Homo-oligomer: A and B are copies of this chain.
Amino acid sequence: MTEFKPIGLIHTPNTDKSLTPIQSARSDLPGTVEVFSQYTEGLQGLEEFSHIFVFYEFHKSEKDIALLVNPYLDEKKHGLFATRFPCRPNPLGFSVVRLVTRKENILFISGADMLDGSPLLDIKPYIPEFDVFDATRTGWFKNRSVK
């Protein structure tokens, strides 16, 4: 067991799960990432990156998890780890969002797909040389029933 502690809070327009965009790549909603002020120094230079990974807790997801689930974009069941479904053994979510600007400990973002109030766990820069892969096979996603 490892204790993960919130290092901030994410504020978004998404207060209703059913109206929340599926994936940041499909969202142009604005949001703010409030990093607790004791960590402000750790944000130095982050504003020079156009995109960032934001890691957070799926704080509203069910604690009872199923290992076969219906992802939002398909009507068939798939192994939980072959999906991005939010009810997971460890409720870890991440989104790649556009970093519009930083004002001290507040990050203004675009592409918010997380629920309002999500506890922030980490931030890392998005670097295409590290993060873009030529994934040739995407399983059920390629043949999904919902576009």
Contacts and interface: CB of A to CB of B under 8 A. Distances in A.
Interface string A128-144: 11111101111111000
Quick one: copies of this chain in the complex? 2
Contacts of A127: 84, 135, 138, 141
A49 B135 contact: yes
A122 to B, nearest CB: 5
Nearest to A81: B123
A119 B94 CA distance: 19
A143 to B, nearest CB: 10
A51 B107 CA distance: 30
A133 B127 CA distance: 9
Given A79-B45, A82-B44, A130 B25 contact: yes
A139 B49 contact: yes
Contacts of A81: 35, 39, 42-43, 46, 122-125
A138 B49 contact: yes
| Interface SS of A by simple majority | mixed
A123 B42 CA distance: 27
A50 interface: yes
B5 A89 contact: yes
A65 to B, nearest CB: 8
A135 B89 contact: no
A1 interface: yes
A17 to B, nearest CB: 18
